[in-house]
Structure 1
Amino acid sequence: MKLQTIRYAIDDRGVARLTVARPEKHNALSALMISELTDVAGRLGADATVRAVILEAEGKSFCAGGDLEWMRQQFAADRPTRIAEATRLAMMFKALNEMPKPLIARIHGNAFGGGVGLISVCDAVVAEHGAKFGLTEARLGLIPATISPYVIARIGEARARPLFMSARIFGAEEAKTAGLVSMVVNVASLDAAVEAEVASFLTAAPGAAGRAKRLARSLGTPITDAVIAATIEQLADTWETEEAREGVSAFFERREPSWRA
């Protein structure tokens, strides 16, 4: 399969660089990108030569969240279609979360919505000082449903609740305090810091590293198929509210929603 929205390469050490590559769209998650990330997560997870994976992005942003056209299609779709699309997105996060390799994120620019979801499934996250984060769904009258199990597992309910509810933008230092980010560095030091994280994982036996990751997941917040399905149902319910219709309409019409007028 020829990849169109992402690319990856594996070096002699067995370190894969997985790059989201829609810079003109701020690496927003389209239906195709969701499919390609799911597929490649499976490939890298099954490849015995891969020791670690770096998740990075082209352009000015790490990931702006959901693609506008994908969002527009969900707005016009019926409930079964919305559930099917949300399930595809949820399975992408599940595939990355369960990949039996160390997954290290290199974060620059903005990471909003689904971008925070991508960060939350990583094992280590190195961000530049100027990076901005936000769980911005409530601004549209929506909720961060499919990413929520991974965000809660990463930062805990107490940290997540105000961020989910306010949808505010926050900086890299606050993200580190919350536990979303492992390390914050100057942009000039970003690549070196990522390499240092990778080197620490390469000292572990590959099979043991994968088993240790599975062990940690088994002892943490359970993210079962039932939990995933429940979050998708809540998202489908939210899409059917008047607030969601108003919020998404206002977004596409480039105006303030009624609750901010």
Structure 2
Amino acid sequence: MLDESLDDYGTARLTLNRPERHNAFNADLIAALTEGFTRLGQANEVRAIVLSGAGKSFSAGADLDWMRAAAGWSAAENEADATRLSDMLAAINDCPKPVIVVAHGHVTGGGVGLVACADMAVAVDGTQFRLSEVRLGLTPATISPFVMAKIGARARRWFLTAEAFDAATAQSLGLVDEVAIDADAAEAVVAHWLTHIGQAAPGAVADAKRLALDFAGQAISDELRADTARRIAARRTVAEGREGINAFLSKGKPSWVIE
């Protein structure tokens, strides 16, 4: 259901492995993703996490059998279930490690939410995205904070029409960063990102990601500027910050560099 591996360079790979269901979510997969990203996010040996999907599609969103069962649940049961999905998305979005998504095939509904939670995403040419919920009489409520954080008010069209859009459009929206001609080219993009992540201090990367999450869309205020001053002051005094500055001044190489 969710395959996991870790290489010698600290790259953890999680692969959605329900190809017969186009990697659609059910309760078990949601729980596995929540646990996996929470655990790997705290693992010192992990430098980055790459999420991809087995088979013909990255993810078709919610499993139809799961949704059919939900129709018979109480309001409280449905709310608890939706909260578990939101918790899973938050575990990915807030993971202190860099998260990379490789999208291909069909990326529908909650699958779009997964892509939106990534720090970096590459889509193989031919990938088709769709926020399909309104066609089912539903709304993309649970994924909407994450999708709108990534593409802003432009989500309104796609939420309302549920029309499909291609990888180039996803890139123009800011949902994905790169479009690759095929799977090998997508892996080359991933390798490029991992090379650069491997040159950066892991703690600084986690703190920089927190900056991007905490300050996005905020107005510049005295409180915000004071917060940024506190954060850089703290980073200058930690061992990682001191090592990095000393290595730069002595033209040396800090201990975290992966070659």
TM (norm. structure 1) is 0.82
Tell me the CA shift for residue 141 of structure 1: 1.2
Report how far residue 209 of structure 1 moved: 0.2
User: Structure 2 matches for 1:169-188, cutoff 5 A?
Assistant: 169-187=164-182, 188=184
**SS of residue in 2 equivalent to 1:156:** helix
Q: Describe the superposition over 1:93-125 as per-residue Cα deviations: whole angstroms up to 9, x where unpaired.
A: 011111100001111111000000000000000
Match of 2:11 in 1: 15
Per-residue deviation, 1:221: 5.2
Q: Which has the higher contact order (CA 8 A, sep 6+)?
A: 1
User: Which consecutive residues of structure 2, in runs of 5 or more, have no partner in the other structure?
Assistant: 219-259
Tell me which residue corresponds to 2:120.
124
Shift of 1:168: 0.6
CA drift of 1:201 comes to 1.6
State the number of aligned residues.
Answer: 217
Partner residue of 1:164?
A: 159
In the aligned structure 2, how far is the partner of 1:71 from the partner of 1:221?
34
CA deviations 1:191-241 (Å, max 9, x no partner) are 11111122122221000000100111001259xxxxxxxxxxxxxxxxxxx
Deviation at 1:33, TM superposition (A): 0.1
Q: Distance in 2 between matches of 1:160 and 1:32?
A: 29
In 2: Cα distance, 1:77 partner to 1:39 partner: 25
Q: Is the 8 A contact 1:104 1:198 kept in 2?
A: no
1:104 aligns with 2:100: yes
Q: Residue 148 of structure 2: which of 146, 149, 152 is its match?
A: 152
- Percent sequence identity over matched residues? 46
Give secondary structure in 2 for the equivalent of 1:76. coil
Q: CA RMSD in A?
A: 1.0
Q: Is the Cα contact below 8 Å between 1:151 and 1:160 reproduced in 2?
A: yes
Q: Is contact 1:109-1:131 (8 Å) kept?
A: yes
Task: Give the whole-Å Cα distance in 2 for the aligned partners of 1:124 and 1:191.
Answer: 13
- Name the counterpart of 2:111: 115
Corresponding residue number in structure 2 for 1:242: none
Deviations 1:119-165 (A, max 9, x none): 000000011111000100011111001100000000111x1000000
The structure with more radius of gyration: 2
Which residue of 210, 216, 222 corresponds with 2:206? 210
SS at match of 2:71: helix
1:110 maps to amino acid: H
Mapped partners of 2:196, 2:114: distance in 1? 21
CA pair 152-221 structure 1, distance change in 2 beyond 3 A: farther
**In 2, distance between residues paired with 1:200 and 1:111?**
27
CA distance in 1, matches of 2:171, 2:102: 14
Give the structure 1 partner of residue 70 of structure 2: 74
